[in-house]
Structures are given as C-alpha cells and as structure tokens.
Structure 1
Amino acid sequence: MLCGLEYTYKLLEFIKDEIRLIKLLPGSWDDDISFTMFHCRLKPPAPGPPTKRLPIKGLQNTLPPGWTVGEAMSGRYIFINQQNNPDVPTNSWHHPDASFDRSLYELPDQQLPQTTYEPSYEALSYVWGSPSNGVLTGHVVVDGTTPTTQVHLGANLAMALKNLRLPDRARTIWVDAICINQRDREEANREIRRMKRIFSLARRTIIWLGEEAHDSGHALSALASLGGQVEIYGNGFITTAPPGAHRTGYLPAYGERTRESLRGLLRRSWFSRVWVLQEALLANRWAVVQCGGHNDTAEWAVVRKALFVLTRREEVPLDVRKLVSPYRNALITTSHRSLPVLLNWAKYRRCTDPRDKIYGVLGLVSDAIADSVNVDYGLSVADVYKSAFLAYLKVTKSLYLLRYCHIGEKRTDGPSWVPNWENGDEKGSNTASLELLSMDLAAGYSSAVQTECLESDSVLQVMGRQCATISFVGAMASGSPDDVLQTMRQWEPQDLETMTNTEYLTGGTLLDAFLLTIFRGGTRERLPEYDGFLSMKDLRRAYLDARATPSSKEALLGYIARHSTADNLASMTTQEGYFCIAPPGAEAGDRVCVLLGCSLPLLLRPVRGTNCDFQVVGPCYIHGFMDGEALLGAFPSPSWRMEIWRGSAATYTSCFFDSSTGDRTPEDPRLPPLPEEWDEVTRARIQDDLPMFRTFRNNVSGERMDSDPRMLPESLAERGVQLDRFRLV
C-alpha cells in the first residue's frame, strides 16, 4: 500500500457550474488504483435541430384501421397490427405505410456519444457499503503536479474501479463518493440537486452490481435473453420485439440453475438501496449492468424490460417476483413516477441517512416538486419529510400523501400528518395492502383546502367532514389466506340470517356491506374491465359456500391470496352502524373523516383539551363513504353505482352506471351542471397527476384546475354542505 497525504479538495466554483471527475489510469489487476482528479464545467450538449417527430395521438391518426402505436421503454415508437388476429400481432419499428416520412416517428440516429460534447464521462451507480469496510487505497495525482495523495475508498468501490480499469487507456468517470467532498455539507447539499443532470448528461452509466458470484454471469445472460424478446409500451403492455413471430409466453424454459442465479442476483445489495433507482432510470440507452469483469455485462435497457416481465408472469417463482415487484411501476415510464409512488418504494429501501429516503428520489420527480424540497443535511429528518409533504401539497393541491400515515409509525419529533418514510421492512407497509384497490373518490374530484400551515408548531389546517365515530376495533387479520379467512369469520357482525335479511345504512344487506368492506369494493360491478374480480353475486356465493362447507373454501382462499384481501388490516364498526377496515392502531373514539383533496377517508383522533386538533391515525375503507357520499350525499336511487375504468398511461376514470336503464355517464348524477364559464378539457398525463384526475378550464379567467369547480368549498356551501375545519397536529 502506498503511503501519502490525504487528498485535500479544492472548492468547486458553482458559479461556473463545475463538477469533479476522475481519470482512472490504466493498470494491471495487482496495481494500486490510480487516478487524477480535475474540475470541469457541466454543460449540456448543444441542442440539435427541431424534431419533426409526431406525438402518439397525432401518429395514431395516420394509421390504417386495426393498427395501433405505442412508445416503447427506449422512446422508440412501435407499430402493432391486431386487425387479423389479436393473438398474433405483427410488430414493427416502421410505419405500415412504407412511404410515410420516417422523420415523423423515428428517434434521431444517435451513436454512443464518445465525443459529442464535453465533458465526456461515464457515471458509476454502485452501493457504498458499510463505512467499516472501507480501505485506504490508491493514490491521486492532481494535475500531475502535486505529491502523491490518498483517498478513502469503500471496499465495493475499490473493487469496482479495479474491474472498470482498462489495461491500455484512461477512463473518465464520475463517482459520487470521490467527486463530491463528503465533508463539505454545503457542497453535498448543492450536488444533490445536480444528480439529475449529472446522470442524464453522462456518456454512459455503469451499474456495478459487484463481483462475479452465484452464477451472476448466467443470470445476466438469462435476463438479456428474455429482455431481447420483448418490448414494453404504453401502460405496461408487453409484446414481442420486432421483428419476430409471436410465441406463447415470453419466458424461456428456466431450469433450477437459472432460477437460483436470478435469486442470487436480485438479492444483491444494489437492489436494496435508495439512490440506485434514480441513477439507473436517468441513464441513457447505452447504460450497462456489470458483474465482475468487462465480459460480464448486459445492456440496462434490455435488463430493465426483463425485470418488468418477471413481475407479470405467473410462471416466475414467487420469491423471484417479490424481489422485482417493488420496481414494477418505476420500470415503465416517467408518468408512473409520482412522488407518492417513489416515496412508498423508498420506504422499504436502505440508506445510511434517513433523509436520503427523500433526497434519493428527487432526480425522478418533477422539477416543480424537486425545487420546493429543502435539500439540507443540517435539517432534522422530520423537517425533511415535512418539506417533501408540503412540496407535494403545494404543487398538486392534494392530500394524497396522508394515505401513507400510520399512527404506529409516527415520528416522535414530527407531526402525525407527515408519513414516516424512515423504517420499512421488505414485506411492505400495512397501508400498502389497503391501497391496492383504492381507486376511490371519497372526496370526489376535489382539491385540498389548506387554510394555513404553521411550520413552527407543525399544524396543518384543512377542511372536510366528519362522518362517523369508531366504537369497536376487532382483531387484525394476518398470516396465510386461511388465517385471514378465519379472522374474517370472527368479524361477522350478526348471525347469518340477520346478515342476509337486514338492510345496511346505505342500502343493500348487511352481508353485502360486510363483504364489500372486507374486499374493499373489489367486485366486477365496480371494476368491469379488470380480470380476476368476482361479481357481487359470485362473491356472496363463494363466501357462503366456504362458511357452510369448509371443503368448499379453496376458491375463496385463492381469491383472498390474489388480492391480499384484509391482510394486516383490522375490522371496525362505528357508533352509527357502519363497517370499516383499516390498518391496526385505531381506537374507539377515533373519527372517520373525509377531507377535501384526499381520496381515502381518514381516521382522526381528537387531541384532549382542544376543540379541533386531531392526530392522523391512518386511512380506512368505510362502506358507504367511498364514492363522495360525505360531500354529495347518496346516489339518486339504489340502481346507481360508480365504476372505475382504465385509461392510458396509468390513469383511471370514473363512470356512473344506472342499472335500471343501462345508461352510463361520466357525470356524477348528484352534481349540478357545470357552470357556463367552466369547461372540462383533455390533456396528456403529466408526472404529478393522481391516478384519477380531471382538468377544468375557466373560459373567462383562463384558470386551469385539476379538480372539479363544483367541489370547491363555496360551491358545496351553496348546496348546503357544511364543511368542518380540522387542525392536524
């Protein structure tokens, strides 16, 4: 080991937009790691000529009948012909009209930009590892003039640099642990905000998973083979890659060797860390995944497709699917990467500093939200989490993040209305199981009314309505589907005869209300185009059969397993007689409230000695208040119901169905006509949109809002709806 002085960092000139880069010097395996460190400006490449490329909608209008077009993960447009036989699509990168101008749909012809712009560098995505495993290794020669100095490298980074080093030429790389002065808090704060630019402008990103082990080369080869067969487009649709004939299924005949190697690869620490997701997703199309030496690599774009397919195929072993499934939405397109999705993902990833649960995904959120988050490692964890919550509220006018609050996870140094993203286990959150079918509109298409947020005492003032008060909390359901079913039986409120003949408060029988609560509204009637959901009639029959004849319960157990029904949730009843289901932590006396701008009802706990102060206990599903009843009242007749339909790009829309007439309408029959000065407008989905959204424009003022003007407090007041004010603490 060479001896020398510890390297002293020279300040970056932020006014010049400087970054540090290292030039990894050539050497053999046993040589010390050597590199020079230098500063350069981080400037984007000169813009190219304006693109003629059409948007998807415009391109679709040019296609003959039976053809559709989608955007693949790579950004290329893929054309699919399903006219003759939907099961045998003909896929192509080329417009079906051979004479159609290719510049109107093809990406610019780009090669790996070796010297397209300066600085030309590669970015390294890797896991730091434990500081205790660090080694003082290598030497740094700055500008070739200073004495030999040394830097502290983690063992994993040292091994990465040894494997990345070329024998005959230098390699320019950006490495966060080296290129950011980790002892300079001000510099670290600033560099966090530039991570998006650093990885986006890199010539290529290298995803270093570690040394070759557990047959990782075979795993990469299997992923590359699978990813090369498929294309992912639109809202997660999978098709065969053009050119190529359709095959039944996309998985090769994976033997035990392939399954074991995939398990070993996906359990590597890279897949468990927070920072790496944004590094990989910000990478360009030339990014590579590497395990060990230069020969053990695969294209990240191909691996990414394979990982997505693994989350969707039932042939894949369950433990393999579970290892990949947290990445499912993030692996598709930018429009899926909303702040709630990213933070709920980050909660169950690892990082040394809990503030990185926020900072580690800022490169993937919209600029509007990222710019509103205070990046400062001098802040407390609670203040960083609060900053993220308020940034999202400011941009979206939504209280959507309240669904991730859980009284049992509340930080002692923060308010109850800020979710605690610090601690999460690999099994997922309790609230996650509640939101699987939570395409609900408990507050309609309303926006949050935040009257005031006093940051000094962490009080958030909001508006809504109190609906009910919890009177009884039952046991929590957990364990196997059979265990969950046994707990459901304990929740039954009455004997069978009473359940089947007594009417629930909002209509229907107690039995139907009980089942709709347990299954969180997941029926074919509510989700008519979703596979795997039973009709209310079939669900009722399956439950009664399982109740009467234990040998007949297998069908219901399978249904429970597929939909994670009631797992880690507790059943509750209210003083008024409503059924409710929620994560554990609720107590008798908690209030069920619907807040403007929050799609799920919340359990709020009154603070003793105050008139309107409440702690957030968590979200809940309460039958009778999931479709806006707290603000709009009951539907005109029992024949009306809300349906949820799938849109494009991970959007969902509501529709109202009158079973007595067979009529469907997008307009809620409980709402008055839209005021003359307002029109509903259509627009492309953006990153900050909620799963269910509508956009309205005022023709007089030009104001645009992603909520219904008929759900504004003043509009509700005109119809006699009395709103309450809540101080969340």
Structure 2
Amino acid sequence: MIEPESEADQGQPYKYRALESPLHIRLLHLLPDEPNEDIRLQISHELLRQSEQPRSLRLSRKQLQRTLPLVWEVVETIEGRFIFMSESDDTSSGVEDESEESDEENGIIHTWKHPDPAVDPALYELPPLNPAQPAFEALSYVWGGQHDPVAATIEGKANKERVLWVDAICINQNDDTERATQVLRMSSIYQDCSRVVIWLGPEKHDIGLLFSELAHIGSQIEKTTNGLIMSTPDTTDFSWWQSDVPVSFSDEVWSAMKKLGDRSWFNRLWTVQEAIMANRDSIVQSGDAIISWSLFRRAVVCLLHKNEMPRARISISVMRSVAKNPIGATLAHTLDAYQARLCSDSHDKIYGLLAILPPRFASEIRPDYEQSVDELYKSCFLASTKALSRWELRGCPRNPDEDTCPSWIPDLSEVDPYGRRVSHHYASGCSALHYEYQAPNLLNVVGLRFDIVKSVSEKTFDHWDDGETAIRAIRSWEPECSLTDPYPSGGTYLDAFAATFIQDGRIERRPAEGFSLEHVKDRFKNEFLSTASTPVSKLTRGDMMEYVIWTRSKGRAMVTTERGSIGLACPFAKPGELTAEDPRLEPLVGWQRVSLEELGRDLTGDDPEVYEFFRNMEDGRIVNSDPRLEPEALECRGVNLETFVLS
C-alpha cells in the first residue's frame, strides 16, 4: 500500500508508520525524473508473496552422479549449475595436480549437457528465477555520511517507477524492535528480490576498463562447491584456470584494481550476506559501468588462485570474502572470514551475518539490540559449544590486564590479528568438549595438563609492518640449539621451526595446502634463515609462500616450553601458563571409522570444523569425535584428567 503524504506533512521529516506484521516490509518507489533533479519517491508497506513454484524435477549432485557412466563425474558450480566431465578431465585445480595440460590439448569432454541424451534436461538444468511479488530490486551499498543529508520528496503520484528495498530508508533505524525483526527478514529479502544491485559508488579510476577485463576472466572459469577452479565448458581461453598462468594486465588495470579494493563496500559487514544471497541476475555497478555479479566473483577467485600476483594481491584479497560462497561453512570459518569488516554497532558482527550462519546456531540467536554486546557473545559461545561439543568460537584474544570480561567469552567485535583457523590449532585433537557452564561467568573444562610455557618473545611483525621488519623477526626467533638437533616430538628443530611459520599447513597434514614440508624447509635454508645460502632482505607478499608466512605469523609471539617445544602464541601468553596435547591413542575397540561416503550425507555448517566419524558396532550410533578421547575411556587407561575453572 502506497503511503502518500498529506499536505500538512509536506516539507516535514518523514514519519514512519508501524509495519502491519513482522512479515511486512517497506518498499521504496523511485519516481522518474530528469538527471540532477531532486529525488522523488513513495514508500509502501508490502506483504511479500512467494510466487507459485512449479514442482522441481532437478536432482541433487549425488543423485545425478548415479545416472552417469563410470568414466564420468558431475560437479556443481557456486551458481548451482552442473558440469559433466570425463573421469580423466584435468581442467580443474585445487587439491589436484596443477601441472596438467589444458582440456583443448587433451581433447577432454567437458560439458553442461548430460552424456546420455535420453536424460531429461529438467533433471539437471537450473530452473528460471521466480522472484517474490511485488517485484523489487534490493540495493547493497554503503551508507553515506549523516552530516550532509540530501532531501527526498515523498509524493503520492507516479509515472514509471523503480521499486527498491534500501535498508536505511525501508527500516525505521530509530526503532530497535523493528530493526531486530527486520534483521530476520534479510535472508528472504535478498533471496526473493528480482536482483541485487551492488552499488560501489561513482564511476572513476578506469573502473569500466577493469570490469571489462574481469568479465572476460569470469566468463572463462567456474568455481565449484568443493573448491575446484576449472575452465567453463563455454571457454575460449583454456589456460585461465591454471594457477601458474600469469596475469598480464596493463598498468591502468592494476591501478584500477587497487583502487577498487579501497572502495568502502568491500569493508562493510552487511554487504557480505547481501552479496552472498544475491541471485544470478544480480549486478555490480559503479556509475554507468556494470558487470554481472557472477562474473565478478569468479574472476576474483581466479586471480587469487594465481601463484604469482605482481600487484594488488592485498586489494584482491579484500574482495575474496564475498567472492567465496560460505553457505554451509562452519560458524568459526564464517566469522573468521568476515571479522575484519566494519559495522557501526558491535551487535551486528553476529546479526549482520545471521542469514549465512549455520542454521542450528542461527536458530538459537534472537536479535536484541538492548542486550549488552558481551552477553550476546557469551550466548553465541554457549550456543556454539552446545551444538558442536567443540570449542571452535575463539574471537580476538582478550588482554587480561585490561579486559574485565571472562577470558573464555570470545571478543567478536574485532578481527583476530593472528588469523587462526580452528582446524590449524586443535591441541585436543578430534575430541568432544566436556564442560559445564556455571552462571554467570565460570566455565569448567575437563582437560589434560601437558607442559608449561618457559619463555615468550616480543610480538612479531604486524600486517602494516615492512618486509625488512618481518624477516628480522623471523631470524630473531631461530632456536638457540642447532637446527639439526632432534625435536621433542620427532623430526628436527628445523622441521618444527619451518612448519611453525605456516601453522603446520603442509600437504602431508592437509592435502589442500600448496607446500610440502621439504619445500618449506628448502626455502628457509636457502632464503629465510640468518644462515641462508642466498638470504632475502625482506619478506614480500607477491610470492605465495611468503604471503602465507606473513598472514599466518603476523601479530604473534614465539614461545618455548619447559620440555623444549616451540610455537607461535598469543602475545598475552605468560611464562608459567599451561599447554596441552593429545594423549597417545590405543587401537579402536568396539568402534569403526566412518568415511564421508559411508556417512550418507553432505557436511554442513552445523558439523564441527574438526571431525572424524565413528560408528558404535553394537548399537549403530554415529558420533563425530574420537571415542578413545572421552573422559571415561582416558581414565580407564590411567590418564589423569583435571577440571580447569576458567573465569
């Protein structure tokens, strides 16, 4: 229903009328006019009606795989399309061998069409979009400054109009109750609109030229839901997917790329879910320059995949967080990806991502802007541990000398300067968390005492430091003993020292990583150590390994323990504090490991970041943690467990 202004209200600030129900939204009707004229608009209250959806015949990827001949495989792109390829297809990269030749040279069959022409295309093709009614576009943008607002005239007349949903206007920002209610509608608003318009601001800095280059790259590759980058079946350039193929942009394009990464849209938190929920008709717009959102994010993913990026890697990295598709990712992974983004209210570090967070966790959170931020983060932690039986929500470390909040409550208001991934730091292995919450501020956790911190270095380099500072810090941390000496847990101190700087992210432990331990050690011996044969003078970010070392080591301290172990830790760590490790495991008795194929379902964000599945051979139940690490099992083997009280 359109809301015309009365004559008495004309020239006065707009007065919001309460929405009829939590299911209603406001829509902005932008009235036509000449350029540079005053903005004229209408506001209506609408109950979105879901268009009648025809019954879908489309199969899931797993169902579709069962219809294929043995030599064929089907993968799904992040836009939801299926690609059929022969089993020997080597047009993709990720955990696969990246040294293969292109599909053109190998004659690989790589197609949008099912190899069996008798299979109905309705079983695998994407159905047409069917947006809600009334049709509208949702604007994704960054709010302007509040100091110099532009007046808009709200009228009751219209000719040809453009219907938009714009949060700053369509939500009463002075009504916390309405804000909380509308936050829960964000997912449906951005999913059910006819398209999302991502507005980056005015056209400048050769943005049109950059969009043209990105559109070409995006049209040559596909990103799949299982993390592969591959050439699209429609490609005219068969090499773009390969990580070792260089990028030959002009200086003007590189400059435009850097300036694009500086646009405030890429730093705002709310834009994340707005872009991720956007459908395939959505666009990115800067002035009159436009690029398809699908092509834009594919191009960004492709560029970030390159081994060598002579310029603008940092600028492109800023764009990565919206180029990925985190639907189905864990809570820890999602928050880690977007914690650096900005919002004016610290509640929105959670509320602004609610549409893309794991469903079981999200169902426990009810937006409440009157609740304190620390209480919100506490409830998030407890909801996460309840759902996962894991301690995966860590946040930014709290300085015990300055922060009165309990140490176990994660600070989710700021980015973690250490860039920690839960799967990279899991001293307790694949064990369930056994804890008891004692209101209001105590957490009792069952654990195993292992070692004591002996020394803590000064904080290492920060992300804003120069490369000379970074390489000096690395060399200052070299162990006092010989690097060839045996390390307490096996291998040598060189093994441990090199692995530490990449968070032990090597192929031997995590196949998706790009480096073997031997490769990393060679770089340390030849370039990074103070005794290197050809020492580098600084750590750069253009080289992939140096970039990984920089991002995984920044903002930390090197610690040593009483038993001689070394590692990176929070700079708030102190000598005398405890560390922990896994106890030695006995063979499985009465349990059987369950592979993901045997599990019979896809993993979701409601699964732990670190998992193994086991089936009880007596009663058939499946658990997602190692039963040998249950307290009862450990105590039966004589392991002394303690309850640590965290406050």
**TM range, smaller chain:** 0.7 to 0.9
Is residue 308 of structure 1 aligned with residue 301 of structure 2? Answer: yes
Is residue 28 of structure 1 aligned with residue 27 of structure 2? Answer: no
Tell me the CA shift for residue 686 of structure 1: 0.7
- Paired letter, 1:500: T
Aligned to 2:558: 571
Q: Distance in 2 between matches of 1:373 and 1:3?
A: 41
Contact 1:677 1:699 in 2 (8 A): no
Q: Against the structure 1 CA distance between its residues 97 and 87, is the aligned structure 2 distance closer, same or farther, given a 3 Å change threshold? A: farther
Q: Against the structure 1 CA distance between its residues 329 and 724, is the aligned structure 2 distance closer, same or farther, given a 3 Å change threshold? A: farther
When the two chains are superposed, the root-mean-square deviation of aligned CA atoms in Å is: 3.2
Q: Distance in 2 between matches of 1:216 and 1:127?
A: 18
Q: Against the structure 1 CA distance between its residues 76 and 181, is the aligned structure 2 distance closer, same or farther, given a 3 Å change threshold? A: same
Is residue 500 of structure 1 aligned with residue 484 of structure 2? Answer: yes
Q: Distance in 1 between matches of 2:101 and 2:488?
A: 47
Tell me the CA shift for residue 186 of structure 1: 0.7
Q: Distance in 2 between matches of 1:407 and 1:530?
A: 30
- Paired letter, 1:491: W
- Paired letter, 2:430: Y
- Paired letter, 2:414: N
Secondary structure of the 1:451 match is strand
Q: Distance in 1 between matches of 2:537 and 2:57?
A: 54
Bigger strand fraction: 1
Aligned to 1:450: 435
Tell me the CA shift for residue 91 of structure 1: 2.4
* 1:215-251 deviations in Å (ceiling 9; x for gaps): 2222222222221121111333222222235533367
Given the alignment, which residue of 149, 153, 172 partners 1:134? 149
Q: Distance in 1 between matches of 2:83 and 2:195?
A: 24
Instruction: Judge which range, 201-210 or 568-577, deviates more.
Output: 568-577
- Paired letter, 2:212: S
Is residue 384 of structure 1 aligned with residue 376 of structure 2? Answer: yes
Aligned to 1:64: 69
Aligned to 2:112: 93
Q: Distance in 2 between matches of 1:274 and 1:72?
A: 25
- Paired letter, 1:141: E
Secondary structure of the 1:22 match is strand
- Paired letter, 1:42: L
Secondary structure of the 1:270 match is helix
Tell me the CA shift for residue 400 of structure 1: 1.1
Secondary structure of the 1:357 match is helix
Contact 1:474 1:570 in 2 (8 A): yes
Contact 2:451 2:561 in 1 (8 A): yes
* 1:93-118 deviations in Å (ceiling 9; x for gaps): 1012222222222222x15x4xx642
- Paired letter, 1:447: A
Given the alignment, which residue of 75, 78, 93 partners 1:73? 78
- Paired letter, 1:357: K
Q: Distance in 1 between matches of 2:528 and 2:364?
A: 52
Q: Against the structure 1 CA distance between its residues 231 and 500, is the aligned structure 2 distance closer, same or farther, given a 3 Å change threshold? A: closer
Aligned to 1:601: none
Is residue 539 of structure 1 aligned with residue 521 of structure 2? Answer: yes
Q: Percent identity?
A: 32
Contact 1:524 1:530 in 2 (8 A): yes
Aligned to 1:618: none
Contact 1:484 1:566 in 2 (8 A): no
- Paired letter, 1:670: E
Tell me the CA shift for residue 518 of structure 1: 4.7
Contact 1:20 1:37 in 2 (8 A): yes
Q: Against the structure 1 CA distance between its residues 84 and 474, is the aligned structure 2 distance closer, same or farther, given a 3 Å change threshold? A: closer
Aligned to 1:420: 411
- Paired letter, 1:75: G
Q: Against the structure 1 CA distance between its residues 318 and 685, is the aligned structure 2 distance closer, same or farther, given a 3 Å change threshold? A: farther
Q: Against the structure 1 CA distance between its residues 494 and 47, is the aligned structure 2 distance closer, same or farther, given a 3 Å change threshold? A: same
* Matches for 1:533-612 after TM superposition, within 5 Å: 533-535=516-518, 539=521, 542-543=524-525, 550-554=532-536, 559-564=545-550, 566-593=553-580
Is residue 693 of structure 1 aligned with residue 614 of structure 2? Answer: no
Q: Distance in 2 between matches of 1:413 and 1:547?
A: 40
- Paired letter, 2:630: L
Contact 2:499 2:517 in 1 (8 A): no
* 1:623-643 deviations in Å (ceiling 9; x for gaps): xx3xx2xxx22xxxxxxxxxx
Tell me the CA shift for residue 11 of structure 1: 1.0
* Matches for 1:584-663 after TM superposition, within 5 Å: 584-593=571-580, 625=581, 628=582, 632-633=583-584
Aligned to 1:324: 316
Q: Distance in 2 between matches of 1:315 and 1:492?
A: 28
- Paired letter, 2:518: S
Secondary structure of the 1:390 match is helix
Q: Against the structure 1 CA distance between its residues 211 and 582, is the aligned structure 2 distance closer, same or farther, given a 3 Å change threshold? A: same
Is residue 265 of structure 1 aligned with residue 260 of structure 2? Answer: yes
Given the alignment, which residue of 48, 71, 76 partners 1:42? 48
Q: Distance in 2 between matches of 1:190 and 1:351?
A: 18
Secondary structure of the 1:552 match is coil
* Matches for 1:458-477 after TM superposition, within 5 Å: 458-477=441-460
Q: Distance in 2 between matches of 1:185 and 1:364?
A: 22
Is residue 281 of structure 1 aligned with residue 276 of structure 2? Answer: yes
Instruction: Judge which range, 476-485 or 250-259, deviates more.
Output: 476-485
Q: Distance in 2 between matches of 1:220 and 1:541?
A: 37
Q: Distance in 2 between matches of 1:290 and 1:547?
A: 47
Q: Against the structure 1 CA distance between its residues 440 and 186, is the aligned structure 2 distance closer, same or farther, given a 3 Å change threshold? A: closer
Tell me the CA shift for residue 259 of structure 1: 1.4
Tell me the CA shift for residue 448 of structure 1: 1.4
Contact 2:140 2:198 in 1 (8 A): yes
Secondary structure of the 1:222 match is helix
Question: How many pairs were matched up?
Answer: 611
Contact 2:190 2:274 in 1 (8 A): yes
Aligned to 1:621: none
Q: Distance in 1 between matches of 2:40 and 2:235?
A: 47
Aligned to 1:603: none
* 1:53-81 deviations in Å (ceiling 9; x for gaps): 23223323333354322101210101223
Tell me the CA shift for residue 369 of structure 1: 1.4
Q: Distance in 1 between matches of 2:308 and 2:565?
A: 41
Aligned to 1:406: 397
Q: Against the structure 1 CA distance between its residues 698 and 333, is the aligned structure 2 distance closer, same or farther, given a 3 Å change threshold? A: farther
- Paired letter, 1:289: V
Given the alignment, which residue of 119, 138, 142 partners 1:123? 138
Aligned to 2:19: 12
* Matches for 1:97-496 after TM superposition, within 5 Å: 97-108=116-127, 110=128, 113=130, 117-135=132-150, 137-141=151-155, 169-249=160-240, 253-293=248-288, 296-319=289-312, 321-328=313-320, 331-335=323-327, 337-402=329-394, 404-408=395-399, 412=403, 414-424=405-415, 429-432=416-419, 434-435=420-421, 438-439=423-424, 441-454=426-439, 456=440, 458-478=441-461, 479=465, 483-496=469-482
Tell me the CA shift for residue 562 of structure 1: 4.4
Q: Distance in 1 between matches of 2:614 and 2:54?
A: 35
Contact 2:347 2:376 in 1 (8 A): yes
Q: Against the structure 1 CA distance between its residues 508 and 74, is the aligned structure 2 distance closer, same or farther, given a 3 Å change threshold? A: closer
Aligned to 2:96: none
TM-score of the pair, normalised by structure 2: 0.85
TM-score of the pair, normalised by structure 1: 0.76
Q: Distance in 2 between matches of 1:577 and 1:323?
A: 40
Q: Against the structure 1 CA distance between its residues 181 and 411, is the aligned structure 2 distance closer, same or farther, given a 3 Å change threshold? A: farther
